[in-house]
Structure 1
Amino acid sequence: MLRSQAVIKTLNGSRYLQQLSKHWAHRFDTEFNETSARIALPLGETRLSADDVSLKIDLSAETASALSDLRDVVVRHVERFAFRETLAFEWSQEND
């Protein structure tokens, strides 16, 4: 399993976490509350956590290609919800 993580500085992490979770809840297995979420997408799993100053994104996938695609999909969706601010995504990656 491959993993990739990013911590994004934002005061709206909880809002974006909930918007993304609600957006995908009608199509994918999704669990969420105000500060954490788990979304099972066909490409892999997305886990989110939010606090007062950041949104943490933790992705896992079976292949490097799937992980890259999952990262792109998640970034595009979060940026769509965060259209009022510019977010910086700095990804780290590890192999399990």
Structure 2
Amino acid sequence: MATVHGVIVTDRPERYAKQFAQHWAAKSTVTELDGDALRIEMSPDAVTVLRPKSGELHVEASSPEFGDVVKRHLERFGARDELTLTWAGD
């Protein structure tokens, strides 16, 4: 399966990464990686990595299909801030 990469422009990338991880914590394994990065594994085929950077949240998903799930959740969490996840190549 092809991994997809995307970016959300936001002044609160850590907040959205943490909120996503907390939302999925009961159904998945959440692992802290280097820095503030979080790896969320729903199954071996459904993994996302969230990397907060200055003014951006970098998102990696294990497949385009799981990427759609991640995108819907992150955009819903950030609806008030009108967040948009843009995948590379879109």
- Scaled by the length of structure 1, what TM-score is found? 0.78
Q: 2:78 aligns with which of 61, 82, 85?
A: 82
| Unmatched runs of 5 consecutive residues or more in structure 2 | none
CA shift for structure 1 position 8? 1.3
What is the rounded CA distance, in whole Å, between the counterparts of 2:14 and 2:32 in structure 1? 10
Match of 1:92 in 2: 88
CA shift for structure 1 position 12? 1.1
CA RMSD of aligned residues (A): 1.9
**How many residue pairs get matched?**
87
Query: Matched residue of 2:31: which SS?
Result: strand
CA shift for structure 1 position 52? 2.6
Query: Matched residue of 2:80: which SS?
Result: coil
CA offsets per residue over residues 31-71 of structure 1, 9 Å max, x none? Answer: 137821001123421001002300000112xxxxxx23211
Match of 2:50 in 1: 48
Match of 2:30 in 1: 30
Letter in 2 for 1:72: D
Match of 1:7 in 2: 7
Letter in 2 for 1:36: A
CA shift for structure 1 position 29? 1.0
| Unmatched runs of 5 consecutive residues or more in structure 1 | 61-66
Which one has the largest radius of gyration?
Answer: 1
CA shift for structure 1 position 89? 2.3
CA shift for structure 1 position 4? 0.6
2:3–2:64 CA contact under 8 A, matched in 1: no
1:48–1:55 CA contact under 8 A, matched in 2: yes
1:18–1:32 CA contact under 8 A, matched in 2: no
- Scaled by the length of structure 2, what TM-score is found? 0.83
